[in-house]
Amino acid sequence: MEELWRTPVSALSAYRSMVPRGDPHEQLPRLAHSLTASPRSQKIKKRRAKRRTPGACPVPSGATNGEQPGGSHPSPTVVDAAAAKLAKRRRMKLRSHPVATPSGPRVALQENREQSLRAGESCSAAAAPPVAGQEKERASVQQFQAGPSLQCLLQELGGVQHSREKAARLFEWLIAPVSSQRFFSQHWEKKPLLIRRRNPAYYQGLFSTAEFDAILHDQEVQFGVNLDVTSYEDGKRETHNPLGRALPAVVWDFYRNGCSLRMLNPQAFSATVWHFLSLLQEQFGSMAGANTYLTPAGTQGFAPHYDDIEAFVVQLEGKKHWRVYNPRKEAEVLPHFSSPNFAQDEIGEPVLETILEAGDLLYFPRGFIHQGDCLPDAHSLHITVSSFQRNSWGDLLEKLLPAALQMAIEEDVEYRQGLPIDYLEYTGVVNSDVIDPRRSTFMEKVQTLIAKLMNYAPVDAAVDQKAKDFFHDCLPPVLTETEKTLSVYGLPARWENGDVRDIDVPFSENTQVRLLRYGIVRLCNEGDKMLLYYTTENSRVYHKEEPKYCEIEPEYTDGIEFLLSSYPKYVSVEDLPCVTLDDKIALATVLFEKGLLITKSPLFSV
């Protein structure tokens, strides 16, 4: 027993000693009362040594420059943000402030530097003596490279009135210097995009290893629910999740032994990630989610695979070697579901191979196979922002076609007429190659009925059903301090001197109100009812609660549509298109108490 306690036992070896050989995703056994060192602990030591050995994970030729071997699909785009901005500023300066030079060679040197910048190359300060104004110019370039910090940007966006403009500006910051128009026309669902910033602090404040550590200490993080412990070695992908809470000592021991740590829903724990995603979801009109990945130096946590989401890989700390591969076949372009793990010999050659450093961004559409591994000299922390899961035309038609068919059956006798008595004689797989005029007539009839379905397709109702799913997926909005003061959260309702005080909402016909956000309400017609779905009471945990809605009387629907069309302008309660003033005040009060309306000025003086 004394020898047993002297033997160091890692969390990984303890886990492996209890997991039966076979599928690593099978149900895990409960912890035993006593732990013994696994025979596989030698493998862990080997992994540690491998991570410390220089050159264990070689950098591919051309990777640092983002070179790609090519392929049949559109080539990925590589953008050097710093060099592109520097080139633009220098060209503008040369046009507006020509430098007087007494000798030809100096002019030639300046022209050569400009040509290099046009090609996207960066200039070294030591390449030539500085010319007039160069120091000032260099300072302005550094300011661009740093850009607005995320916290400053979020604070600035708090003053923007329209929530869609907030979302658009945040997305522009995420992919700068690429414009949104260029991104959606050239890259979205088409090909990867790599943005190099040469500025490690660009995404600083979004998430960090220090914040991850604080979350482990201060909040209830559960293995398998909020955190996955993974490894990929010798072509084998394993998940090492114990049962229960992810305590810091256990988690960090897994990490020390070469395991990657994937936090599945950082928005549930990090206020900044929550704020960030709650704004972006309105840009996409689809749920914006995120995972964070912390990987030790010299290791890889996941096998090659593709996902069913549009992925934005944001490098936060350290660096990581990435390889991205084209979809293997047409059926895997924009897939509906994620893939299983692939072996290296199943995926071909990468179309993009690069090393992401802090401040860089890599986008790739769903269906593009990818894998990332850490170099021996640095750990990696990145966050993958994702969207557009189950948001295709096919997903809409899954809701539309059954409803259209049901309506057609109810309204058109042709859909209720009986099938031919002898149709089994010439249809079915066994008769698929039979040449029979009855079969041709049968197929023409089917095509006619399918074509007629469009006449009964409730497109708007189907879109509302998609919107209802989206509202269930949504994160709740993050309110600024000013918005809290102007919303139901600013009411001074309280218990005082043995009684409740200030619980009534003092609305009058002159009170000015508007929606808190444009994208937080949706009217849906369900049967003979009008339901108003909203997101203000959603959980930060995905689908932790049922969709939030309230039934709206028909006489109030015009008022809600009026608020949507007026947004972001404030309107007087008196202007709401309801029959009576009492109805107007009642509608405004209900929406205000749900957190959907804010007032132009505080209802109570502070």
Question: Is 80 exceeded by the pLDDT of residue 547?
Answer: yes
* % of the chain exceeding 70 in pLDDT: 78
275: Cβ contacts below 8 Å, ≥ 6 apart? 154, 478
**Distance between CA atoms of 463 and 285, rounded to whole angstroms?**
12
Name the DSSP letter for residue 245.
B
Question: Is 60 exceeded by the pLDDT of residue 18?
Answer: yes
Q: Are the C-beta atoms of residues 180 and 117 closer than 8 Å to each other? A: no
Q: What are phi and psi of 168, to 5 degrees?
A: -65, -40
Mean pLDDT of 194-204: 96
Question: Is 70 exceeded by the pLDDT of residue 579?
Answer: yes
pTM of the model: 0.82
Mean pLDDT over each residue of the chain, to the nearest integer: 85
Residues shown for the chain: 606
pLDDT of residue 381: 98
- The Cα-based distances of 551 to 258, 308, 513, 528, 564 in angstroms read 53, 34, 21, 11, 18
Q: Are the C-beta atoms of residues 320 and 359 closer than 8 Å to each other? A: no
- The Cα-based distances of 264 to 252, 267, 282, 291, 401 in angstroms read 17, 9, 21, 5, 34
* % of the chain exceeding 90 in pLDDT: 74
Exposure string over 132-161, b if 16+ CB within 10 A, otherwise e: eebeebeeebeebbebeebeebbeebeeee
Question: Is 50 exceeded by the pLDDT of residue 339?
Answer: yes
Residues 417-461 pLDDT 10s: 999 999 999 999 999 999 999 999 999 999 999 999 999 999 999
Least confident of 4-13, 94-103, 255-264: 94-103
**Distance between CA atoms of 66 and 356, rounded to whole angstroms?**
9
178: Cβ contacts below 8 Å, ≥ 6 apart? 79, 187, 193, 195
Residues 106-142 pLDDT 10s: 333 333 433 333 333 333 333 333 333 343 333 333 3
Residues 200-225 pLDDT 10s: 999 999 999 999 999 999 999 999 99
Q: DSSP assignment of 126-173, as one string?
A: TSSPPPTTHHHHHHHHHHHHH-S-HHHHHHHHTT-S-HHHHHHHHHHH
Least confident of 52-56, 212-216, 340-344, 431-435: 52-56
pLDDT of residue 605: 74
**Within 10 A of 335 (CB to CB), how many other CB atoms are there?**
16
Confidence band of 17 (pLDDT split at 50, 70, 90): low
Confidence band of 147 (pLDDT split at 50, 70, 90): low
Question: Is 70 exceeded by the pLDDT of residue 606?
Answer: no
Residues 273-298 pLDDT 10s: 999 999 999 999 999 999 999 999 99
Least confident of 20-29, 142-151, 471-480: 20-29
Mean pLDDT of 350-369: 98
- Helices 163-175 and 271-284, packing angle to 10 deg: 100
**Distance between CA atoms of 280 and 168, rounded to whole angstroms?**
8
Least confident of 79-83, 177-181, 224-228, 327-331: 79-83
pLDDT of residue 527: 85
pLDDT of residue 382: 98
